[in-house]
Amino acid sequence: MTDRPLVIATNDDGVDAPGLWHLAEAVYEFADVLVVAPAFNQSGMSAAFTLRQDLESERAHSHIDGVDAWQVNGTPTDAVVHGLRHVVKQYGTRRVSMIVSGVNPGPNVGREILHSGTVMAAMQGYLRGLPSVAASLASFEDTHLKDTAIVAGLIARRLLDSGNLQLLNVNAPDRTFDEFTDIRAAAMANLAVSRVVDLVDEQGSTRRRLEFRSDIEVAPDTDVAAIMDGAVAVTPLHNDLTMISALAETAELIDGVVD
């Protein structure tokens, strides 16, 4: 490794997922990359972390010359925190400059953000003072993962160069890089674009899968509207879930409760 910035790349699909390595390759254009990811698929884990069992890490197979890879037997949040606290110590006094997470096959837009291990892995960097980027493809197929990684890498580079502390959630439409119509700053839509479908077999066991909804009405200037228009949606996120507009009403509601 060199004196270039050091970036941890992670995901929620596991250390061998193609999207992770496309993203690592894109970021390697401007920074040294250290892959620290879950050992196995951890989709839908949000910000869950491991308690009551040992957390272990070990070297994993790297798909890129010059990029070291580690796998952690835990969640995406575990991978980032363990990487920052322990794995990076293997590389002397170097400090991590950024976290990138993805590329996830399947959109992380609207209310899906709350369930996303991809987004919440990036959130761990943001909470620790690091600019962070989560990247997802609006398709459950792998065809355009590399195109998403390329645009996410360009956005990550711009964010790192800016010196701003932001968490950017990047979602790309299911098309090639040259076919993107635009890159838009967009708000998180207040809806879900996919639904969980339960498949019950003859033994009564239930297996779940995600499928896109066809009955949604999309508000303009949102992440969902952007990808439906063929544009890349970039949404700045933060961790404050307070409903500011309801504080005064809540104060009135609880006034005198313990009198």
- Residue 236 forms part of a structural domain: yes
Average pLDDT of the segment spanning 19-37: 98
- Residue 148 forms part of a structural domain: yes
Longest dimension (CA), the chain: 67
- Residue 207 forms part of a structural domain: no
Burial pattern 45-81, b for ≥16 Cβ within 10 A else e, equals: bbbebeeeeebebeebebbeeebbbbbbbbbbbbbbb
Per the structure, the count of domains in the chain is: 1
DSSP one-letter string for 195-214: EEEEEE-TTS-EEEEEEE-S
| Closest alpha carbon to 173 in 99, 110, 223, 112 | 223
What is the DSSP pairing of strand 183-185 with strand 132-137? unpaired
Instruction: Quote the domain boundaries for residue 104.
Output: 6-190+219-254
How many whole angstroms separate alpha carbon 122 and alpha carbon 134? Answer: 6
- Residue 213 forms part of a structural domain: no
- H/E segment holding residue 58: strand 57-59
For the chain, how many helices (H) and strands (E)?
Answer: 6, 11
For residue 230, the model assigns a pLDDT of 96
- Residue 235 forms part of a structural domain: yes
pLDDT at 209 over 90: no
Average pLDDT of the segment spanning 25-45: 95
| Closest alpha carbon to 135 in 215, 32, 233, 239 | 233
- Residue 102 forms part of a structural domain: yes
pLDDT at 1 over 60: no
Q: Which residue is listed with tokens 């065809």?
A: 143
pLDDT at 215 over 70: no
Instruction: Compute and round to an integer the Cα radius of gyration of the chain.
Output: 19
How many whole angstroms separate alpha carbon 77 and alpha carbon 127? Answer: 11
- Residue 115 forms part of a structural domain: yes
pLDDT at 105 over 70: yes
For residue 213, the model assigns a pLDDT of 65
For residue 182, the model assigns a pLDDT of 96
Average pLDDT of the segment spanning 179-203: 86
- Residue 196 forms part of a structural domain: no
Burial class (CB in 10 A: 0-12, 13-18, 19+), 251: exposed
Q: What is the CATH number of the domain that holds 183?
A: 3.40.1210.10
